[in-house]
Amino acid sequence: MKLRPTIIEQIYNELNLGHFCQNDFLIEFNANNTLVDICFRGNKKYRFYIHETYSRQGIFSIMRMLNCDAREIIESYQEPGEYNISQHVRHDNFNSAVGDISKWTMRIREDIIAQRFFSAPHADDLIELFQKQIDESVKDEEEYFTKEEESKLSQKLEALQKRVSELEEKYNLEKEKANEVKDAISSSKSDINIYPKGIWYRTSANKIINALKLAFKNKEVKAMLLEVTKEYILKMIGINK
């Protein structure tokens, strides 16, 4: 079956929705027993094709009676799938299969983002990292901060708070959620002249990271904020000055 020009145009339109365009894909029509075969140029494991098949009963009937029409079935193969790495989907009609193309391209983007942030710091990993760095870098844990040290730490916390505000505005973060993180930073700042160094470093790092962990559910936003927090907290401990 050769696809009509209007159907081909509909396929192109689906590919042009969202963050990609049709030129990001290799597209073949009526090749290798498929009606359309689409492959993402950036990573060729991502593939979507539509093919037609026939019910077994239909084929059996053809074999028995040549005047019996086989029932046409439209199926698509999609990688990545909605839940699994790949999936086969049976459609009620061809338009339904074409309509899945834009959803498939969205999943490609989700996978690419997930790969980008898969190695990004996770909250629990950061807490463990900071505890280790504190053990190695803070030699006078029982002592209290001097006025000069208090001033420097306050400045670094204010810089972190300002950075969170900048990210809030740039990425349109929820104000209420961003305030929860900024409140945790303010609370840590007020504890500087109360706690000994070891306790302050540990509780302030835990407090700020936990606030990030609970406030933001979006993985991309959370990973970005954790990366920023990692940089500032390491500076506070005395690393990456």
pLDDT at 72: 79
More confident residue, 179 or 62: 179
- Domain limits, the chain: 5-117, 120-237
Across 88-116, average pLDDT:
87
Q: In terms of pTM, does the model score above 0.75?
A: no
pLDDT at 221: 66
Q: What is the pLDDT of residues 132-168, one digit of tens each?
A: 877 888 888 899 999 999 999 999 899 888 888 887 8
Structure tokens at 99: 């309509």
Measuring CA to CA, which residue among 36, 110, 108, 30 is closest to residue 77?
36
pLDDT at 9: 95
Q: What is the pLDDT of residues 11-59, one digit of tens each?
A: 999 999 878 999 999 999 988 789 999 999 999 999 999 998 876 554 4
Residue 100, pLDDT above cutoff 90: yes
- List Cα–Cα distances, 173 to 159, 206, 220, in angstroms: 18, 22, 12
Structure tokens at 66: 């040549």
pLDDT at 64: 46
Measuring CA to CA, which residue among 92, 76, 138, 123 is closest to residue 230?
123
pLDDT at 115: 64
Q: How many CA atoms lie within 13 A of 199 on its CB side?
A: 10
pLDDT band of residue 67 (cuts 50, 70, 90) is low
Measuring CA to CA, which residue among 140, 85, 128 is closest to residue 233?
128
Alpha carbon of residue 207 to chain centroid:
25
pLDDT at 169: 82
Instruction: Answer for the pair 226, 209: CB distance below 8 angstroms, yes or no.
Output: yes
pLDDT at 219: 65
pLDDT at 122: 63
